[in-house]
Amino acid sequence: MVIEQPSIEEWYAAWPPDDTEESIMGSDWHQLTITNLRMGINEIARSEVASGEPVRFQAVSQATLLGLHRRGGTRFDPMPDVYIFKKPMDGHRLSFSLRSDGPPAVVIEVASTATFKSDTDFEGGKGWIYAAAGIAEYVTIDTSGVLQVPPLEPWRLGDDGYAECALDAEGIWWSEQVPVGLSVRSGMVVVYDRAHRAQLREGEIGAEFARRVAQAKQEGILRLLRGRFGALPSSIEAHVRALASEQELDALFDAALRARSLADVEELLP
């Protein structure tokens, strides 16, 4: 029996397969990476404008992107992990369209075993399709470092399709479309603003909030003590700045209000 092989046109007409809920979900780590990307990018977008003003760019995730076509000409409706438009978008929408919304400026695909082959195929897979759609920058990320080495691969659209981009000396890729940088550190994606400040990720927000509250209380106590007793010995400043417990800081603040001298304050410090 002779098995007929599909022609190259037939092969391209069916490749890559459409994304499905199963293929885009991936592992919990896969979704965590997507969340941190979207959250970090959108935090930078919000910080770029005054309160109440519309953002200048916005990241959306895993919504269907309509209007793309495979190399064979058939319709292709992917759900990119993260993609960025250079304008505010309605986060309630389930899909966006090249025709009505224009192409996103950046697409980021987070590697998973189900989609990695098509994500990194620049001859007929997503790498070719996104270039044909006019998407200026394309990034693939594998935080595990198993499917892709290096874990961050950025590409920029040129006359002949995508050309690989270089990372800076710190291993950060900087977008030319939006004021955002990306890297992978210790198996986690990091999003940077133009000042090289790393954005907070899931699991870091509560701890950072507690740290800032403690820091504000430390500064309040030191200001109170300076106002009452003048310049403070470095040992007192160091002890106050070492306190992190809200209960300890609140108790010290109350004591500082009642203290008659710095000696009274020193007795309360560990």
Model confidence pLDDT, tens digit, residues 2-53: 455 566 666 666 677 777 665 666 678 889 999 999 999 999 999 999 989 9
On whether both 22 and 105 belong to a single domain, the answer is yes
pLDDT, residue 27, reads 76
Look at the block and give the residue holding tokens 């690989």: 164
On whether both 188 and 209 belong to a single domain, the answer is no
pTM of the model: 0.81
On whether both 168 and 252 belong to a single domain, the answer is no
Tokens of 23: 């293929």
Tokens of 151: 């874990």
Structural contact between residues 50 and 36, judged by C-beta atoms closer than 8 angstroms:
no
The answer to the question of residue 197 being in a domain is: no
On whether both 171 and 48 belong to a single domain, the answer is yes
On whether both 182 and 214 belong to a single domain, the answer is no
Band (243; pLDDT cuts 50, 70, 90): confident
pLDDT, residue 16, reads 77
On whether both 160 and 122 belong to a single domain, the answer is yes
Beta strands in the chain (DSSP E): 58-60, 64-66, 68-69, 75-76, 82-85, 95-97, 106-110, 137-141, 152-158, 161-164, 173-174, 181-185, 188-192
For the chain, the domain total comes to: 2
Structural contact between residues 221 and 189, judged by C-beta atoms closer than 8 angstroms:
no
How far is it, in rounded angstroms, from Cα 256 to Cα 264?
A: 8
Q: What's the pLDDT tens digit per position in 147-190?
A: 999 999 999 999 999 999 999 999 999 999 999 999 999 999 99
**Domain-terminating residue out of 162, 192, 222:** 192
On whether both 113 and 210 belong to a single domain, the answer is no
Q: What's the pLDDT tens digit per position in 62-104?
A: 999 999 999 989 999 999 999 999 999 998 999 999 999 999 9
On whether both 234 and 183 belong to a single domain, the answer is no
Task: Please give the residue range of the domain that contains residue 57.
Answer: 8-192
The answer to the question of residue 185 being in a domain is: yes
How far is it, in rounded angstroms, from Cα 134 to Cα 113?
A: 26
Triad 199, 188, 110: Cα angle to 5°? 100
On whether both 181 and 216 belong to a single domain, the answer is no
